[in-house]
Amino acid sequence: MDNRHAALGLSDADVLAMYEKILLTRMVDERTWILNRMGRAPFLVSAQGQEACQVGAAWALRPGIDWALPYYRDLGVVLTLGMTAKDYMLGLLAKAEDPSSGGRQMPSHWSFPPLKIFTGSSPVATQLPQAAGIAYAIRLRGEDAVVYVSFGEGSASKGDAHEAMNFAAVHRLPVIFFCENNRYAISVPQEKQMAVDNVADRAAGYGFPGVTVDGMDPLEVYRVMREAVDRAKSGQGPTLIEAKVYRLAPHSSDDDDRAYRPQEEVEEWRARDGLPRFRRYLMELGLLTEETDRRLREQLAAEVDAAVEYAEKAPDPVPADLLRHVYGQ
């Protein structure tokens, strides 16, 4: 096995840390399903199958300097940027302390001002023009930050996606449009959403590069993200990255994916899952052993346990909170 990460300027510690984030994301997600099935978490959207691309992408950002407008599946992005399992669990259980929304929004509707993670909504694709607006402010003030904005391939069908990409192109804005193509918009397969193979093919029509990347490979994703960040910072404008991934779980805890996709397809993709693949990579390079992996899992499990415990004990908002923050002061 070649050492692919050194060539990307990533240290061994870096890739181990990336692995840790991918693993943490998966473990938090798995725990969430358990909580949901036990009736302790009313609703979830899952990141499973997309963690590798999320961590690879976020690794190329500078937390607190670069901006992020992650979509609801981007658990791996926000954990990599610096949100914690505890932050997530507080949101999952909609507690008063939930940093994203004080328990107002559904889980996974991220917001975290210190990390420049801008609040997101449920209506898809609205974040793309907003990301362009942030990038415009950056450009106007001559700052060096970049903006990461993500969305599913389904959301790429929305008018807002088009308007934002076109505008970002005109002004060569420092935005990275990051599309996580998991082949389905809930039940609607890619073929019913678009007549092309790649969302990335649209970039040419706006006048900036579009690249597709194996989203199950965090190093490849990191590589194309770094290129996009460099382009953005050097005034060359936006990039559209399309990470080919697969949603291994149903759309949400309310969904039943057996109605619309064969389980063999799911299993086929599971065989390509980025987590075990990256684990193998690290093991073959001798950076990870069964033993260190086991210890890491224990440590992360304890972190998740503590997060769940904390969040479950944390207080709900009080009814009077309903009326707060409609307007300023």
Partner 1 sequence: MATKTLIEAVREALAEEMRRDPQVFVLGEDVGVRGGVFRATQGLIEEFGPMRVLDTPLAESLIVGVAIGAAAAGMRPVAEIQFADFIHPAMDQIINEAAKIRYRSNGSWSCPIVIRAPYGGGIHGALYHSQSVEALFHHVPGLKIVVPSTPYDAKGLLKAAIRDEDPVLFFEHKKAYRTVRGEVPDEDYVLPIGAADVKRPGRDLTVLTYGYTVHLCLEAARRLSEEDGIEAEIIDLRTLLPLDRKTVLESVRKTGRVMISHEDNKTGGIGAELAAIVAEEALFYLDAPIVRVAPPDVPAMPFNRVLEAAYMPTVEQQYEAMKNLARF
Ligand X SMILES: Cc1ncc(C[n+]2csc(CCOP(=O)(O)OP(=O)(O)O)c2C)c(N)n1
Residues with a catalytic annotation lie at 247, 251, 260
Which amino acid is present at 217? D
The encoded tokens of residue 90 equal 């507080």
Nearest distance in Å: CB 167, partner 1: 6
Residue 317 touching a copy of itself (CB under 8 A): no
Site string for a copy of itself, 102-131 (x = CB under 8 A): ------------------------------
Per rule CB under 8 A, is residue 195 in the interface with a copy of itself? yes
> What's the closest the beta carbon of residue 129 comes to a copy of itself, in angstroms?
10
In angstroms, the Cα distances linking 143 to 60, 139, 157, 295, 322 are 18, 6, 31, 42, 37
Residue placing its CB nearer to ligand X in the complex, 122 or 234 = 122
Task: Give the footprint of Mg ion on residues 154-173 (CB under 5 A).
Answer: 154
Q: Which residue has the tokens 């207080």?
A: 315
Query: Is 215 a binder of Mg ion (CB under 5 A)?
Result: no
**In the set 49, 107, 152, 237, which binds Mg ion (CB under 5 A)?**
152
Token pair belonging to 315 = 């207080």
Least distance in Å: CB of 168 to Mg ion? 21
Nearest distance from C-beta of residue 186 to ligand X, angstroms: 5
- Beta carbon of residue 207, minimum distance to partner 1 (angstroms, whole number): 13
Quick one: 7 exposed, middle or buried, by C-beta within 10 A (0-12, 13-18, 19+)? exposed
How is 133-164 classified by DSSP, letter by letter?
HHHHHHHHHT----EEEEEETTGGGSHHHHHH
Which residue intervals of 43-84 are DSSP H helices? Answer: 51-58, 75-81
Residue 178 burial by Cβ neighbours in a 10 Å radius (0-12, 13-18, 19+): buried
The two tokens of residue 83 are: 């949100």
Of 199 and 304, the one with the shorter C-beta distance to Mg ion is 199
- Tell me which stretch binds a copy of itself (CB under 8 A): 25-33, 57-65, 193-201, 300-308: 193-201
Q: Which region among 76-84, 187-195, 289-297, 301-309 touches a copy of itself (by CB under 8 A)?
A: 187-195
182 lies in the binding site for Mg ion (CB under 5 A): yes
Residues 220-239 that bind a copy of itself (CB under 8 A): 237
Does residue 131 contact residue 149 with C-beta atoms inside 8 Å? yes
Cβ contact 290:69 at 8 Å: no
Asked if 120 contacts 127 with a C-beta cutoff of 8 angstroms, the reply is yes
For position 175 contacting a copy of itself by CB under 8 A, the verdict is no
- What CA–CA distance (Å, rounded) separates 294 from 280? 14
Q: Select from Mg ion, a copy of itself, partner 1, none the partner in contact with residue 108, using the beta carbon and a kind-dependent cut-off of 5 to 8 Å.
A: none
Residues near a copy of itself (CB under 8 A) are 157-163, 166, 169-170, 172, 191-196, 201-208, 237
